[in-house]
Amino acid sequence: AQSVTQLGSHVSVSEGALVLLRCNYSSSVPPYLFWYVQYPNQGLQLLLKYTTGATLVKGINGFEAEFKKSETSFHLTKPSAHMSDAAEYFCAVSDGTGTASKLTFGTGTRLQVTL
Amino acid sequence: DAMVIQNPRYQVTQFGKPVTLSCSQTLNHNVMYWYQQKSSQAPKLLFHYYDKDFNNEADTPDNFQSRRPNTSFCFLDIRSPGLGDAAMYLCATSPHRGTMDTQYFGPGTRLTVL
């Protein structure tokens, strides 16, 4: 069985500062890893995903994440935060054994961006 | 634009009164999912359809049922809602069975149980 741990349920950064949201996973098979963003009262939107190949993955809105197998991590970063980045961010791992992309989500990190 | 649509966005029901939530998609995806997301928690998968093949999660209560009459539509039926069923219900789709497939989410239906 797989699981995801997101360190820090709330993260606050100043506009223009580095954003770092942490995600560690546990999986018995090679993982497929995802970051989703959820704005208030909306569904989830894919930011980026890692399947195979290059371990540094670039996504939308200037976000990127690096898969580090040795650290079982998939941390999300953005060099310069914008007010519009304020949202809930979910890391997820896909079950690699089944018949569909069954996602196990972390508990989420709420990002606050201040002036 | 192709999308996942959920109706209604907000639903209020009474304790024990059956309620149906609707999801439709214009993406022509084979797989449709229903998630339950309680306040400040991660989305939790209830079940999914691959085409007409229904797959229930082991810990999904019997109170929750689903129907998929065609490729485009999927319904979530809550037979006797309890106060603990108040949550956001998210519908998602993915193209195939592939475990690396992206899931595309609708905006959700927020269910209130009085």
| Tens digits of residue pLDDT in B30-61 | 999 999 999 888 899 999 999 999 999 989 99
Is B55–A90 a contact, with Cβ atoms under 8 angstroms apart?
Answer: no
- CB-CB neighbors (< 8 A) of B55 in chain A: 99-100
Nearest chain B residue to A99 by CA distance is B97
> Rounded mean pLDDT of A62-79?
96
Q: Report whether B105 contacts B91 (CB < 8 A).
A: yes
> Rounded mean pLDDT of B56-67?
94
Does residue A81 surpass a pLDDT of 90?
yes
pLDDT of residue A100: 64
pLDDT of residue A33: 93
If DSSP codes are grouped into helix, strand and coil, which group holds residue A20? strand
Q: Give the amino acid at A8.
A: G
Instruction: DSSP for B51-108, please give it.
Output: TTEEEE-TT--TTEEEE-SSSSEEEEEESS--GGG-EEEEEEEESSS-TTPPPEE---
Is B100–A51 a contact, with Cβ atoms under 8 angstroms apart?
Answer: yes
Distances (CA, A) of B33 to A1, A26, A29, A69, B57: 19, 23, 23, 29, 11
- CB-CB neighbors (< 8 A) of A106 in chain B: 42
Q: Report whether B89 contacts B8 (CB < 8 A).
A: no
Is B43–A90 a contact, with Cβ atoms under 8 angstroms apart?
Answer: yes
Write out pLDDT tens, residues A7-23.
Answer: 999 999 999 999 999 99
Of A45, A102, A107, the CB nearest to B41: A107
Nearest chain A residue to B5 by CA distance is A43
If DSSP codes are grouped into helix, strand and coil, which group holds residue A83? helix
The CA R_g of chain B, rounded to the nearest whole Å, is: 13
Q: Around B60, how many Cα atoms within 13 Å sit in the side-chain half-sphere?
A: 21
Does residue A98 surpass a pLDDT of 70?
no
